Amino acid sequence: MGIYTHEQLARRNASPWTRVQFILAPIQFIVFIISFILVVRYLLTNQGYLAATISVWIKIALIWALTITGMLWEKDVYGHYFMAREFFWEDMGNLIAIITHNAYFVAQWLQFDNRTAMMVMLFAYITYLFNAVQFIVKGIRSGRERRAMAAADLPIVGAQQ
């Protein structure tokens, strides 16, 4: 079975959350790269803690924004807010990533030292990267499937009618 039925593809194309996801996902990835560099820089040099911290907060805000809008998208397309069969592993990966991202706040609340809190974030970023790869692979597969579905609906050039 593919990612979408014809009906689900129509709902995907009609959902306002599809566009939101296409806008937010690359923004989050760019913030991830910047924040990852800032966190690693802090861990290696012990400098730039404030910049790393601000970037972490922005990254966490973006993962929440993508999770919430993704849930709304999934409801529009599949009728489930979370863990639709077609996106189970991506949702599971996202759940792990969002838990590990929020472990940063737990580390802060428990008054872990700055290095330990940033190590927690480094681990969170690794979980995010695994999940991002899942979504990229799914997106490539989805694009191929959508193009094949669109081609199947086109009349065959030169066919007799």
Predicted model pTM: 0.82
Q: 81-131: per-residue pLDDT in tens? A: 998 888 888 889 999 999 999 999 999 999 999 999 999 999 999 999 988
78 in Cβ contact with 70 (< 8 Å): no
- The first and second tokens of residue 72, run together, are 């709304």
- Domain positions in the chain: 6-142
Q: 22-77: per-residue pLDDT in tens? A: 999 999 999 999 999 999 999 999 999 999 999 999 999 999 999 999 999 999 99
Q: Which residues contact 151 (CB under 8 A, 6 or more apart)?
A: none
